[in-house]
Amino acid sequence: MKRIPLSLAACLALTTSAIAQDATRAIENITGDVYRFQNNFHYALVVPTSEGTVVVDPINAGASSWLAENLSQITDQPVTHLIYSHSPVRRQSFPES
């Protein structure tokens, strides 16, 4: 088994931390009341209605928290429906509103 030099391991650890801290997040209107939420290279669907907001596939707790804090940009309705298109659901979550 080859050993990874300590300096390379440190660089990898710092790069991973920087990526996690500098997530690219945005909410973009697609058409009408359909929005796309970006978390780095992952996209989720957000559809506000008069009865509540539907969120499809929020990627993780950090992204979901950011989305919950920024939904007021597009609606004053709470999240009433979460749709997960695939598992594992254990990695996905959304804060209670």
Residues in the chain: 97
Nearest 5°: the CA angle 27, 31, 33 is 70
pLDDT at position 96: 64
Of the candidates 80, 86, 87, the one whose C-alpha atom is nearest the C-alpha of residue 46 is: 80
Taking only the tens place, the pLDDT of each residue in 68-91 is 999 999 999 999 999 988 765 555
In the chain the beta strands, taken as DSSP E runs, fall at 25-31, 34-39, 42-49, 52-56, 79-83
Residue 43 to residues 8, 65, 71, 72, 81, Cα–Cα distance (Å): 31, 15, 15, 19, 17
pLDDT at position 60: 86
Taking only the tens place, the pLDDT of each residue in 8-65 is 445 445 444 444 567 899 999 999 999 999 999 999 999 999 999 999 988 888 999 9
